[in-house]
């Protein structure tokens, strides 16, 4: 790895190391499925409702159910209060989360229906979209929906010339040298396919290949935490 200005992480982690992770399944008893995923000071809660008949009727698909994902940061999730309600950012994150989760959940047995996934962020210190995906994949399995595979997600990235995983907010804001690059990635559990890759910042093709490898290793660790949480809740699916 090229020698850069960021030689030691602010919180003492190795560059391949995730923040301490916690996952819980069944955190909202009244929902069809629910889960939380926490990494450091970032926390996501995902709640699943459905399948139920989709209205208006012209939006129904007679061949499959439809997945609909919404994402929101809670007003006090960061020190600057977040304005409640949709924003361009929350719409984008909801959409990309929907695409990523659609590649692992199989709704072909539920024609004309919708499955709603609500992702809420009570605490944000970067990596909220990937924490949301980790929680949502568990919540869908908890709801008993057929999953082709599980999904695990992580933000890889770069601070100056140093590649790392599970980028926190201080690292995302690293302005020295080449600055910071943020690469949220979601990886499927069996086929190890990329279900989401976004890129904000600069990175060479070689560094991107290495970042993806680092993200895949981190996702193996995340998957273990997710599977343990599902097992603890008595969920076989996933
Ligand atoms: N953030 C914030 N206010 C906002 C949006 C984001 O303080 O309106 C912070 C929050 O800590 C978030 C981080 O910036 O986790 C990074 O946001 P980004 O859009 O890169 O998405 P994320 O990394 O959370 O998926």
Other CB atoms within 10 A of residue 222 CB: 28
Provide the angle, in degrees to the nearest 10, between the axes of the packed helices 88-102 and 128-142: 50
Find out whether the beta carbon of 126 lies less than 6 Å from any atom of ligand 1: yes
- Note the pTM of the prediction, 2 decimals: 0.97
For the structural domain made of 21-232, what CATH number should be given? 3.30.230.70
Element (H, E) at 130: helix 128-142
Q: CA nearest 44: which of 68, 69, 67, 11?
A: 69
Domain borders along the chain are 21-232
Find out whether the beta carbon of 171 lies less than 6 Å from any atom of ligand 1: no
Find out whether the beta carbon of 169 lies less than 6 Å from any atom of ligand 1: yes
Which residues, in sequence order, are CB contacts of 92 under 8 Å at separation 6+?
A: none
Q: How far apart are CA 6 and CA 158, in angstroms?
A: 9
- Averaged pLDDT for residues 25-45: 98
The model's pLDDT over 37-85, given as tens digits with 9 standing for 90+, comes to 999 999 999 999 999 999 999 999 999 999 999 999 999 999 988 888 8
The model's pLDDT over 204-220, given as tens digits with 9 standing for 90+, comes to 999 999 999 999 999 99
Q: Is the confidence at residue 31, as pLDDT, over 90?
A: yes
């Amino acid at each position: 790895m090229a020698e850069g200005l960021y030689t030691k992480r602010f919180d003492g982690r190795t560059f391949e190391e995730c923040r301490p992770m916690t996952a819980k399944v069944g955190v909202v008893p009244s929902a069809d499925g629910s889960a939380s995923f926490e990494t450091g000071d970032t926390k996501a809660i995902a709640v699943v409702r459905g399948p139920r008949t989709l209205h208006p009727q012209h939006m129904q698909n007679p061949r499959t159910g439809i997945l609909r994902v919404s994402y929101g940061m809670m007003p006090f999730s960061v020190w600057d209060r977040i304005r409640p309600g949709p924003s361009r950012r929350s719409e984008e994150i909801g959409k990309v989360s929907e695409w990523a989760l659609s590649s692992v959940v199989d709704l072909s047995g539920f024609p004309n229906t919708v499955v709603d996934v609500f992702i809420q962020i009570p605490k944000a210190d970067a990596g909220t979209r990937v924490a949301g995906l980790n929680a949502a994949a568990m919540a869908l399995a908890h709801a008993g929906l057929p999953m082709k595979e599980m999904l695990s997600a992580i933000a890889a990235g770069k601070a100056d010339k140093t590649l790392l995983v599970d980028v926190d907010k201080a690292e995302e804001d690293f302005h020295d040298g080449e600055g910071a690059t943020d690469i949220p990635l979601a990886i499927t559990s069996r086929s190890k396919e990329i279900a989401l890759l976004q890129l904000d910042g600069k990175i060479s093709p070689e560094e991107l290949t290495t970042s993806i490898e680092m993200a895949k290793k981190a996702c193996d660790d995340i998957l273990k935490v997710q599977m343990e949480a599902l097992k603890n809740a008595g969920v076989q699916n996933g």
